[in-house]
Structure 1
Amino acid sequence: MADEDKFAIHAAARDGRVTAVESLLAANPKLATWKDDDGRLPIHWAASYNHHEIVSLLTQQKGFDPDVQDDLGWTPLMIAASVKDADKVVDLLLARGADVSETNNNGQTVLHFLASKQNLDLARKLLEDQKPPVSTRVKDKRGQYPIHRAAAVGSVPLINLLLKHRSPLNPSDNAGQTPLHHAVAEGHGEAAFALLKAGAETDKKDSDGFLPLQLAPSADVRNYILRKAEEEGIAISV
């Protein structure tokens, strides 16, 4: 069988061709569980491109596994959570039993991706409405928690949400950097200030011996953080 025929369902799922997916499954239901040369099943492609109807169709196949992983360990839920405006696909996968605690080959959960994408609404849903909720205390293979990512992208609402749900505040990643290091290094003064208000330690050095404030990319960022901290009576190690 030629690859273009063998992986026709993957292409149809990627392109959003519902009728083609239906016809291929009718001819051979096992196609739903075939991996292509990228190590993905059709549902991974459908989730990647936010094709809700095709995801729904594939989840109804006999033996469907909501947590099936591609060769990188990504589940359909992880992929959908990384796609803009894919809330309907995410809701569908959750309704079909997707496990929010699954980790990929890098040790990342869906919450790591939500933090990176600043998807506050979905993060709130998985932390406050999902039972059991997704954990804020899973460390990936780089030693990073979701709060490291929220700090790196400068999302104050996500930082506060994660802390509300028992995220560690001062964990060091494999480079010795805390969320405060990441916020400062990326120039996110408001995020750094949010961490400081929550009690972030300012005297922890990273693996290269740098304090968080020493990583400020400019004098403006450094001075802003110092000024805001002074207004709140927060002492900072410099």
Structure 2
Amino acid sequence: MSSSEQADKYALHAAAREGKLSAVESLLNADPKSSQRKDDDGRLPIHWAASSNQQAIVLLLSEQKTFDPDVEDDSGWTPLMIAASVKDGEAIVDILLQRGADVNQKNSNGQASLSQPKTALHFVASKNNLEVARKLFANKPAISARVRDKRGQYPLHRAAAVGSTPMVKLLLEHNSPLNATDNAGYTALHHAVAEGHGDTAIALLKAGAETDKRDSDGYLALDLAPDKEVRKYIEREAENEGIEL
């Protein structure tokens, strides 16, 4: 296939990615089936529109008769997972939820044999998209905070690692395991301390995080403090809260 033929074949994908609404409308009218065609990156136009935060184009594509809100690209990403990972992607998340997107669908990285894959909440927690997380929990059915990824991590581990105290609190409010360990033996507290997020560590301690759990190398969470100042801060604040370390 020549480069010009390939460009024609995937013109809808390019228009969706670049936010060219009128071009998308024309291309859909000329060839409705093109919305269901994967390009060389294994993506449909809806995946590109979601990743580029093109709200009007996502809305238009979602109105097609053959639209599947849970369709995966070749990496296992659904439009909802992509939108949940994009800054200011709340409007697109709303559209996809209204179209019936499955909030608990798991990303398998294109390999059905992988166990414990991610859900949209893992991406949301990693990106600290608090408003999107609230939307996913408000959905019926609500998203689960009790799904591990292939590293054995719950969304809480990710939220702790990026130091998002509000996300940590939200996840705990929605029944996230607090003291579970990942494949490296890290609890959420280990992650928070290791990354130097003292405030998040204190929030976890106030919620009842266990301080006597050791990781796979035998380290307690407090042993992983990146410097003396972080450790002193956690010790001081824990003492103020009446928490014994």
Q: Same fold by TM (over 0.5)?
A: yes
User: Match for residue 145 of structure 2?
Assistant: 136
- Aligned residue in 2 for 1:206: 215
Residues in 1 aligned to 2:219 and 2:161: alpha-carbon distance in whole angstroms = 17
What residue is the counterpart of 1:35 in the other structure?
38
Q: Name the Cα RMSD after superposition.
A: 1.0
1:230 partner amino acid = E
Q: Give the equivalent residue in structure 2 for 1:116.
A: 126
Alignment-mate amino acid for residue 146 of structure 1: P
Partner Cα distance (2:65, 2:108) in 1: 26
Unaligned runs of 5+ in 2: 110-116
C-alpha separation between the residues in 1 aligned to 2:217 and 2:74?
34
Give the C-alpha shift of residue 41 in structure 1: 0.4
1: CA distance between counterparts of 2:41 and 2:196? 36
Amino acid at match of 1:226: E
What is the TM-score when the length of structure 1 is the normalising length?
Answer: 0.96
Hey, what does 1:228 align to over in structure 2? Answer: 237
For the residue of structure 2 that corresponds to 1:70, the secondary structure is coil
Mapped to 2, the partners of 1:123 and 1:156 lie a distance apart of 13
How does the TM-score come out when normalised to structure 2? 0.93
Answering whether residue 228 of structure 2 is matched by residue 219 of structure 1, we say yes
1:125 Cα offset (Å): 2.1
CA distance in 2, matches of 1:232, 1:51: 46
Distance 1:120 1:55 in 2: 22
C-alpha distance in structure 1 between counterparts of 2:132 and 2:19, whole Å: 24
Counterpart contact for 2:90–2:131, Cα < 8 Å = no
Once residues 218 and 12 of structure 2 are traced to their aligned partners in structure 1, the CA distance between those partners, rounded to angstroms, is 52
- Structure 2 CA distance, aligned partners of 1:216 and 1:105? 33
**Would you say how many aligned residue pairs link Structure 1 and Structure 2?**
235
Partner deviation per Cα, 1:68-117 (whole Å, 9 max, x = no partner): 00111111011111111121111111101111001111511111111111
Could you tell me the percent identity over the aligned residues? 68
* Aligned position for 1:78: 81
Quote the offset at 1:229 in angstroms.
1.1
**Structure 1 stretches of at least 4 aligned residues deviating more than 6 Å after TM superposition:** none
Does residue 49 in structure 1 map to residue 58 in structure 2? no
SS in 1 for 2:192: helix
Partners of 1:9 and 1:207 lie apart in 2 by: 49
Q: Which 5+ residue runs of structure 1 have no aligned equivalent?
A: none
Conserved in 1, the CA contact under 8 Å of 2:43 and 2:74? yes
